[in-house]
């Protein structure tokens, strides 16, 4: 079985990272911004797995870091969704610019 070259994994990871950054800075919807942050975290996970596989093939540090990031991302998503739901109940919108201009 042939191994995927490291350059291909790094190109995929950087494409996901920059798509996430672009989505975070250009979108106004809070849900879309949250999805962009998840794309950024997934690109970091791909880097950890790729470098672990190519630099230290018999060790599991990269996989442990990836599992930790997945757990932190799940906690972040649950907290962010709760905040977004509360903001939607109060302002009836998830648009960042509209919520920012309203006074609490």
Cα–Cα distance between 70 and 48 in angstroms, integer? 12
Q: What fold does the segment set 6-101 form as a domain?
A: Helix Hairpins (1.10.287)
Per residue in 26-64, pLDDT tens? 998 999 999 999 999 999 999 999 999 999 989 999 899
Q: Show the tokens assigned to 65.
A: 């870091």
The pLDDT, as a whole number, for residue 14 is 97
Are 32 and 23 within 8 A, CB to CB? yes
Give percent of the chain above pLDDT 90. Answer: 76
Rg, Å, the chain Cα set: 17
User: Which pTM does this prediction carry?
Assistant: 0.86
Q: Give the residue carrying structure tokens 């599991």.
A: 60
Which residues are CB-contacts of 84 (< 8 A; sequence separation ≥ 6)? Answer: 30, 31, 34, 94
Q: Is the pLDDT of residue 74 over 90?
A: yes
């Amino acid at each position: 079985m042939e191994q995927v070259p490291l350059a291909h994994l790094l190109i995929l990871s950087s494409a996901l990272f920059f798509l996430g950054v672009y989505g975070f800075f250009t979108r106004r919807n809070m849900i879309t911004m949250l999805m962009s942050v998840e794309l950024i975290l997934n690109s970091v996970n791909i880097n950890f797995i790729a470098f672990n596989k190519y630099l230290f093939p018999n060790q599991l540090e990269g996989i442990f870091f990836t599992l930790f990031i997945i757990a932190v991302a799940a906690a972040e998503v649950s907290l962010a969704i709760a905040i977004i739901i509360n903001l939607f109940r109060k302002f009836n919108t998830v648009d960042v610019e509209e919520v920012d201009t309203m006074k609490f």
